[in-house]
Amino acid sequence: MSHDIADATATDTRPAARAHTLQATPSVIAVQGLTKRYASGFEALKRIDLDIQRGEIFALLGPNGAGKTTLISIICGLVNASDGQVRVNGHDIVTDYRAAREQIGLVPQELTSDAFATVWNTVSFSRGLFGKRADSAHIERVLRSLSLWDKRRNKMITLSGGMKRRVLIAKALAHEPQILFLDEPTAGVDVELRRDMWDVVRQLRDQGVTVILTTHYIEEAEEMADRIGVINDGEIVLVEEKAALMRQLGRKRLRLDLQTPLAAIPETLAHYPLSLADDGNVLVYTYAASANEYSTPASISALLNDIEAAGVHFKDLHTEQSSLEEIFVNLVRKDA
Amino acid sequence: MNLRAVGTIYHFELARAWRTLLQSLVSPVISTSLYFVVFGAAIGSRIQEVEGVSYGAFIVPGLIMLMLLTQSVSNASFGIFFPKFTGTIYEVLSAPVSYLEIVLGYVGAAATKSLILGLIILVTASFFVPLRIDHPFWMLLFLALTALTFSLLGFIIGIWAEGFEKLQLVPLLIITPLTFLGGSFYSIDMLPPVWQTVTLFNPVVYLVSGFRWSFYGISDVSVGASLLMILVFLSLCLALVGWIFKTGYNIKP
């Protein structure tokens, strides 16, 4: 699968600029008070409110059984909601389901396929199902972009798991959706294919497709998403722009164990974000984890020089960082 | 109306029949031919004419009905059960397709298959016994209505069934006995009086009788009753399908 460098750099510089444009556009999916109670009384979703912005990649993170798939299934029409409302580009998913669903492509978690149909036929079937005129040029483009062109005459049963996953993506793209749901797209997929999928998703986003993916790989959310939502036990625990989240969560702390406790931070060090801990025995310096994005690598050595010059001596030092994973686990645990 | 989607499901389902041509068409034809050899030629030659029609010819409408009923039910039930079983149903449910369109696609394809099958059996029969069709329009109407009604029943069974056992259960325990006891191989007059009354509660009797009337002009019950019965049954199936989609029973939790 091709993915050129210009593309990659374009994506890297995007989030900050994107954040501004996103705020101006109305949400492409608006979920309000969505609740799902099964006949057994189990509440899979508890009054969920969520807005997905046009053109973003939104990652829905959560442990198994958190309600990720139920949420997607309701939006896509596979499961009935017990309460609440979902609008897709302003179209209610129940009363105006045709207009809502026309814009959505769904890649399910399970590798389900009609074993004896060929790749070409099953992808064309998907397009027809959405009421679109047959368009072999579009199907060819989709198959080529997913490296499936050589397999177009193969029956589904002859394909590997990774290839089947690609076919499911091709099926979801067959009707040129504006919104793509990927439910655990890289579960059980090898590293190389995972990178390929990420490339495909980025290309789609560059074409203006809104992508919502569920995952329990933190790495995936970190790599792909513009915004991250964490769902646990049927509730949205947090929704945040990834860049902001990384700024918040990606803070590092440098802790210096002092030889003699300080009563206050010396004047000459006042311009550093320093604080005292453990009755003045520890000097804490908080800084951004990602040096090239939020700070300069020189600042730590400058700080250490200035501390030396201020006559403060330390006997030991160590750094701490809270990762997305750590915060995620904390969020989920606190709730459980 | 998303006619393109209806056409897509319809063609996909018929394509499945072509892929499995042997099961879909050849095996019912062979088994029907065996009925003709055994009942028509071997046994039939020793049975006197029924109301002026040779026994071999007399059983043709009943045999076609027997095949039509079992094939409609099994085609349609499998057609919807299979995507439910493999999980590919997700795609149909997430598409901008109404329930009516889903039913039209699946049931339409199943009914078409059984209709073609019925006509093939009719042609096959003409090689074994002398046939005559007094009312071709009514014959086709009965054929089409029966194929449609029992394909709807099959669709319902396919949704109701959670496993392959249940899928076989209804055809095996209900459809086949009702058809055999529905006058396929005999005229109701041949039964003792008590059984003649009991048999009137069997809906298949009306189908076979009406269908046979379209061939030879002879019937056990009036043609109007036959037509009414099949329309009642059709409405029942439609109501049940409507209820299934309204509640999401076994298809949309």
| pLDDT tens for chain A, residues 1 to 336 | 443 333 333 333 344 444 444 444 578 999 999 999 998 989 999 999 999 999 999 999 888 888 999 999 999 999 999 999 999 999 999 999 999 999 999 999 888 888 888 999 999 999 999 999 999 999 999 999 888 999 999 999 999 888 898 899 999 999 999 999 999 887 767 787 788 888 888 889 999 999 999 987 777 888 889 999 989 889 998 898 888 877 766 667 888 999 989 888 888 888 888 889 888 899 998 877 655 444 555 678 888 888 888 888 999 988 876 666 666 777 777 554
**ipTM value of the model?**
0.85
| Number of structural domains chain A divides into | 3
Contact B5 A79 (CB under 8 A): no
Provide, as residue numbers in chain B, all residues whose Cβ is less than 8 Å from the Cβ of A123: none
Provide, as residue numbers in chain B, all residues whose Cβ is less than 8 Å from the Cβ of A112: 86-88, 90
Location of structure tokens 């002026």 = B52
Cα–Cα distance between A186 and A37 in angstroms, integer?
29
Under an 8 Å CB criterion, which residues of A touch B?
38, 76-80, 97-102, 104, 106, 108, 110, 112-117, 121, 125-126, 128-133, 171
Provide, as residue numbers in chain B, all residues whose Cβ is less than 8 Å from the Cβ of A78: 90, 93-94, 252
Residue A279 included in any domain: yes
Structure tokens at A162: 């990774």
Domain boundaries, position A144: 113-177
With the CA atoms of B103, B109, B110 and B111 taken in that order, what torsion angle do they form, in degrees rounded to the nearest 10? Answer: 90
Whether residues A44 and A124 fall in one domain: no
Cβ atoms < 10 Å from Cβ of B80: 26
Cα–Cα distance between A86 and A83 in angstroms, integer?
10
Whether residues A272 and A142 fall in one domain: no
Q: What is the DSSP string of A146-215?
A: TT-GGGTTSBGGGS-HHHHHHHHHHHHHTT--SEEEEESTTTT--HHHHHHHHHHHHHHHHTT-EEEEEE
Contact B88 A112 (CB under 8 A): yes
Whether residues A8 and A90 fall in one domain: yes
Whether residues A61 and A183 fall in one domain: yes
Length of chain A (residues): 336
Task: Please report, for the domain that includes residue A84, its CATH number.
Answer: 3.40.50.300
Whether residues A150 and A285 fall in one domain: no
Cα–Cα distance between A314 and A258 in angstroms, integer?
4
With the CA atoms of A254, A256, A262 and A267 taken in that order, what torsion angle do they form, in degrees rounded to the nearest 10? Answer: -50
Closest CA to A200 of A7, A9, A27: A7
Closest CA to B32 of B116, B123, B121: B121
Residue A197 included in any domain: no
Reported as half-sphere exposure (CB side, CA atoms, 13 A), residue B42 has a value of: 7
Residue A198 included in any domain: no
Residue A7, classed as helix, strand or coil, is: helix
Contact A121 B5 (CB under 8 A): no
Q: What is the DSSP letter of A280?
A: T
Contact A130 B95 (CB under 8 A): yes
- Contacting residues for B59 by C-beta, under 8 A, at least 6 apart: B35, B39, B40, B44, B184, B185
Q: Which of A78, A157, A183, A184 to mutate to test the interface with B (most CBs of B within 10 A)?
A: A78
Quick one: pLDDT at residue A323? 63
Whether residues A320 and A265 fall in one domain: yes
Whether residues A232 and A156 fall in one domain: no
Quick one: pLDDT at residue A290? 59
Residue A108 included in any domain: no
CA distances from A316 to A5, A35, A254, A282, A307 (A): 43, 52, 11, 10, 13
Quick one: pLDDT at residue A324? 66
Reported as half-sphere exposure (CB side, CA atoms, 13 A), residue A12 has a value of: 8
Please, which residues bridge with residue A181 across strands?
A106, A212
Domain end call among A157, A177, A197:
A177
Q: Which residue of B has its CA nearest to A129?
A: B5
Whether residues A256 and A243 fall in one domain: no
Contact A128 B8 (CB under 8 A): yes
Cβ atoms < 10 Å from Cβ of A118: 16
Structure tokens at A279: 């009755």
Domain end call among A158, A177, A196:
A177
Quick one: pLDDT at residue A249? 64
Whether residues A152 and A270 fall in one domain: no
Buried b (16+ CB within 10 A) or exposed e, B175-192: beeebebbbbbbbbeebe
Whether residues A86 and A13 fall in one domain: yes
Q: Which residue of B has its CA nearest to A96?
A: B96
Task: Please report, for the domain that includes residue A329, its CATH number.
Answer: 3.30.70
Cβ atoms < 10 Å from Cβ of A161: 12
Nearest-CA distance from A28 to chain B in Å? 18
| pLDDT tens for chain B, residues 1 to 253 | 889 999 999 999 998 888 777 777 788 788 888 888 887 777 777 777 777 888 888 888 988 998 899 889 989 999 999 998 988 999 999 999 998 899 999 999 999 999 999 998 898 888 888 888 999 999 999 999 999 999 999 999 999 988 888 888 888 888 888 888 888 888 888 888 888 888 888 888 998 999 999 999 888 888 999 999 999 999 999 999 999 988 878 877 7
Structure tokens at B89: 């149903």
Walk across the sheet containing A235-241 and list its strands: A104-107, A179-183, A210-215, A57-61, A227-232, A235-241
Residues A114 and A122: beta-carbon distance below 8 Å: yes
Provide, as residue numbers in chain B, all residues whose Cβ is less than 8 Å from the Cβ of A125: 8, 12
Domain end call among A248, A267, A282:
A248
Cβ atoms < 10 Å from Cβ of A5: 7
Length of chain B (residues): 253
Residues B68 and B146: beta-carbon distance below 8 Å: yes
Whether residues A277 and A326 fall in one domain: yes
Whether residues A160 and A273 fall in one domain: no
Residue A50 included in any domain: yes
Residue A65 included in any domain: yes
